[in-house]
Structure 1
């Protein structure tokens, strides 16, 4: 049985003498190896069709045809139902006839005749996404954009007949076909996936049955010479692949990271007319992750960034949130429009230019006021502190025991971490370091006191460990080194509502990352104030009191107004009285 594990995991198993011949330990397999099919539920026009399509896909997979043959056959069936192919097989449009005859796919009659929902605008795209395994989608970056996002990004585009629109990662052509009043001759599209290009042409002719040969091409937009090289466009709109590195980056010297979506944006921008505009759907990480500083610099310098819109939902099979970026080819707009949850406001571009790593904070004026009050008192950070990951056993099932015995000691997981203190542990472990897959220095595990925090968490949760306990890798370890601050005092700031709010606004991460925590600002305090804060934390731990007094103290220390405190609480808890 093929092992569905990463190469790094295999190396660690080899080190420990772990065998996987029984096929176990595959449930946490790398997504690139996943054979699971995921229905793109957000891509349906009518959600009542989901179960019907899932049943159709089961039958299509049982047909024995390749994915290309299946989709070609479905497409021919759609042509017949639309009357594009007459009952006698005649095709009036020579361009469509040439498209059909030039295709080398095999026609599967049973698939061609399958009964499909008639109220889906891109049933071919839905079926393709349902047929592809999660692993293939992950490798190709082939996750089609949710329909409501497509419509939102295209609804206000107004073109005249002379204008041209390009999608360089067109997929099934959904973006361009959703532009209001678009004409066939305005459409230019590229995709590296030949099946996607075939689907795009089917959809093109279904919408424009009398059209000429489409300007839809199968090639590598970043690296190949293409049919559209040298042409300029009024709009470039796309959802490029995320998370991959371009194979040929010498043409994109502005992008030091080599990130594919950044290279797509640079090339698209350079293909715009002087009055042209690009619209890109990108991962939320473009806003703040350090490695994407290059594309933020490009958007602030070479392009004219117009707006950033945050979308609240996720793609099926994708855990990354996403944003729509709108920019002109040239201009001197001084502000960027921010759109989150149907609330809009403007941010001065100079704010972004002054931020560390040019971070695009999605903050309004009251947010900026709060952030500034904290940052202006910054004297220290956690960069000089000691950090460590929890223990990676290599086989939790065998190495984590639920009952105590000789030579075993308690080990805590992220689930036992609560603000300021630990919940009772559930597991014991034989702490033989030679038999564990990954361990930090023993003196870090045995440090006391130290802080431990959840890595996978929507909020900052730091517990204080004064007993030199062991922790599994769902918990990370921090021995803070801030002058005149005890471990308790550092925990007070990190567990405060204000710092939770600050983390969200500065980093917008669903993971608690060391690289972000290091940047959090800490003030300079004297020993008297340290003793006071330390004592309040001690009361929370020892007397089981709540942390209201401490929360109020942190707000007062930074001078937040009543309105600003309400803003923090609304961000954390939603609507408040």
Structure 2
């Protein structure tokens, strides 16, 4: 099976002057096409149930059962255990689905103390590629509870989750009656699971779960599909959700949204906001990148200008198979306020709305007043950036398993990855390759790999980690290359700044990506440096590259001195790095 290369790959081919993309391999092993299945351990309520889950997965792997019938049967299993399977309202819900029950699964012993066992199993049975394309990663209970801590609605509140999945947020909502809960999802199987979960949540009541299968962005003005049999314009007291991150769901025609169609989570949030009652609350789980990158600038403008932003909470929890960190965004349908709180790692600071609006990119950064003062002073001393430097991408083979070897041989050459890069060190290579660019999906021009001296850095990392390659080596795409061009600074002096404690502070205070992006590196400030200073820094960095690590402290002092950082600010910076 051949797949269309990603847009990022196509951009890289254009940058590298690839005139005939058909010569590149089309079997890129990216997440969107991955058939791998992952057990999302973070969604498991009790680890003691893992062996039973694995036994069930092994049983299903050995039988050619259709996924809808598996989930339908296990749903019936749980309803029977709750002694409500035969009740008329439950039978009416199950009658909506044409699937046959599997007798063995209807009586299979299931754990009864899991928060959402059906949703957990569904996530286990979906491939990584399918979840990635749909942006479908279910929210674990601890993260749901953290987000719901911000809710101040009364017990009688009406709730909506416009991307409800198997209903986890609705299950955790402190609602007294099932009629208070409404969910929408585009996935028919997830909708079935959410209905069954609500039946299990309210076993003593007779009701029809208000869960609808629809694309929320294509729904009517009330947020519900036409023909749902509800009032024309419902309003909600609380809307909570973890919308798809990065999935492409086109906007309904004529929708007046501030975001392009591909920004699904922001479009969903803005449409959901219009369904809030005055003073109503909205709490969404979003990727942390939404706070900073340029593509989401207009979304941030909406948060700052069109509603009342109360709080942003940065969470450490991650989802299996997802590298992005998450944040909780809490807003209400009110006029904007002067400030909002930003919480990270147990600490909370107040941020000025107007101060962020004065930033051209509207970046939301968790910076104290002292951080802002120090960063402002550092950028006041900026003389240059890495603009004008030469950047290079590592090799994309298109088939690492088939094109990389564990040992050298005739015609094979060492190729390094990000794992072999540490500060001032290039560890021994673990892989070897036959460098024939006609057989590679992507490769930088030869002169970049063969440069007499180039800087190389980890691509997957929360902060810059650089070393200097003076051996004209090859690198895979988990490492990128840089040949700096800053007047008055030689290559190794630039390395000294990039690996310094001061630059780590500057970077970590401004950028939260788990990838070291070129755009972020381009925003780092380099000061004016005299010839003696350049020579001193270069010599110290060369000594560290040679293994003389004892001079690292002297180099750090020289970097602080180049920016004229006062002692009290240096002490604060070092303490911040230690705390992080």
Deviation string, structure 1 residues 168-207 (Cα, Å, up to 9, x no partner): 0111222122122442221111111111111111121222
- Contact residue 484 and residue 491 of structure 2 kept, 8 A: yes
Which of 501, 504, 517 does residue 497 from structure 1 map onto? Answer: 501
* CA–CA distance in structure 1, aligned partners of residues 149 and 380 of structure 2: 42
> 1:507 and 2:501 equivalent?
no
Aligned to 2:82: 82
Aligned to 1:301: 305
Aligned to 2:193: 199
Aligned to 2:102: 108
* CA–CA distance in structure 2, aligned partners of residues 572 and 395 of structure 1: 39
CA drift of 1:63 comes to 5.4
* CA–CA distance in structure 2, aligned partners of residues 427 and 172 of structure 1: 43
Aligned to 1:37: 37
Aligned-residue Cα RMSD (Å) equals 3.2
Aligned to 2:59: 59
User: Greater CA deviation, 218-227 or 95-104?
Assistant: 95-104
CA drift of 1:59 comes to 2.8
CA drift of 1:564 comes to 4.0
- Contact residue 169 and residue 240 of structure 2 kept, 8 A: yes
User: Greater CA deviation, 205-214 or 459-468?
Assistant: 459-468
Provide the TM-score with structure 1 as the length reference: 0.87
Aligned to 2:541: 537
Which of 162, 169, 173 does residue 163 from structure 2 map onto? Answer: 169
CA drift of 1:65 comes to 3.6
Aligned to 1:555: 560
In structure 2, do the counterparts of structure 1 residues 189 and 416 end up closer, same or farther at CA, with 3 Å as the change threshold?
closer
For 1:558-577, what aligned pairs fall within 5 Å after superposition? 558-562=563-567, 564-574=569-579
Provide the TM-score with structure 2 as the length reference: 0.86
Which of 116, 126, 129 does residue 120 from structure 2 map onto? Answer: 126
Deviation string, structure 1 residues 470-502 (Cα, Å, up to 9, x no partner): 444443221222232222222221110111222
* CA–CA distance in structure 1, aligned partners of residues 469 and 47 of structure 2: 49
CA drift of 1:418 comes to 4.0
CA drift of 1:384 comes to 1.6
* CA–CA distance in structure 2, aligned partners of residues 71 and 400 of structure 1: 42
For 1:130-145, what aligned pairs fall within 5 Å after superposition? 130-145=124-139
- Which stretches in structure 2 are left out of the alignment for 5+ residues? none
For 1:393-408, what aligned pairs fall within 5 Å after superposition? 398=403, 402-403=407-408
SS in 1 for 2:467: strand
Deviation string, structure 1 residues 261-286 (Cα, Å, up to 9, x no partner): 11111101121122111111111211
SS in 2 for 1:106: coil
For 1:255-270, what aligned pairs fall within 5 Å after superposition? 255-256=259-260, 258-270=262-274
CA drift of 1:530 comes to 2.5
Aligned to 2:255: 251
- Which stretches in structure 1 are left out of the alignment for 5+ residues? 21-25
User: Greater CA deviation, 47-56 or 32-41?
Assistant: 32-41
User: Greater CA deviation, 431-440 or 264-273?
Assistant: 431-440
Aligned to 2:180: 186
- Contact residue 392 and residue 482 of structure 2 kept, 8 A: yes
In structure 2, do the counterparts of structure 1 residues 122 and 563 end up closer, same or farther at CA, with 3 Å as the change threshold?
farther
CA drift of 1:239 comes to 0.5
User: How many residues are matched?
Assistant: 559
Which of 375, 384, 395 does residue 388 from structure 2 map onto? Answer: 384
- Contact residue 308 and residue 337 of structure 2 kept, 8 A: yes
> 1:214 and 2:209 equivalent?
yes
In structure 2, do the counterparts of structure 1 residues 252 and 497 end up closer, same or farther at CA, with 3 Å as the change threshold?
farther
SS in 2 for 1:485: coil
Deviation string, structure 1 residues 524-572 (Cα, Å, up to 9, x no partner): 2333433332333334345724311111222244344555445434454
* CA–CA distance in structure 2, aligned partners of residues 521 and 356 of structure 1: 18
- Contact residue 323 and residue 514 of structure 2 kept, 8 A: no
* CA–CA distance in structure 1, aligned partners of residues 452 and 143 of structure 2: 50
* CA–CA distance in structure 2, aligned partners of residues 439 and 136 of structure 1: 28
Aligned to 1:240: 243
- Contact residue 250 and residue 261 of structure 2 kept, 8 A: no
Deviation string, structure 1 residues 136-173 (Cα, Å, up to 9, x no partner): 22232222101101112224534446531110011122
- Contact residue 256 and residue 294 of structure 1 kept, 8 A: no
* CA–CA distance in structure 2, aligned partners of residues 423 and 500 of structure 1: 22
CA drift of 1:15 comes to 5.7
User: Greater CA deviation, 363-372 or 548-557?
Assistant: 363-372
In structure 2, do the counterparts of structure 1 residues 166 and 529 end up closer, same or farther at CA, with 3 Å as the change threshold?
same
CA drift of 1:392 comes to 4.2
SS in 2 for 1:314: coil
In structure 2, do the counterparts of structure 1 residues 455 and 165 end up closer, same or farther at CA, with 3 Å as the change threshold?
same
* CA–CA distance in structure 1, aligned partners of residues 444 and 70 of structure 2: 52
- Contact residue 71 and residue 118 of structure 2 kept, 8 A: yes
Which of 126, 151, 162 does residue 157 from structure 1 map onto? Answer: 151
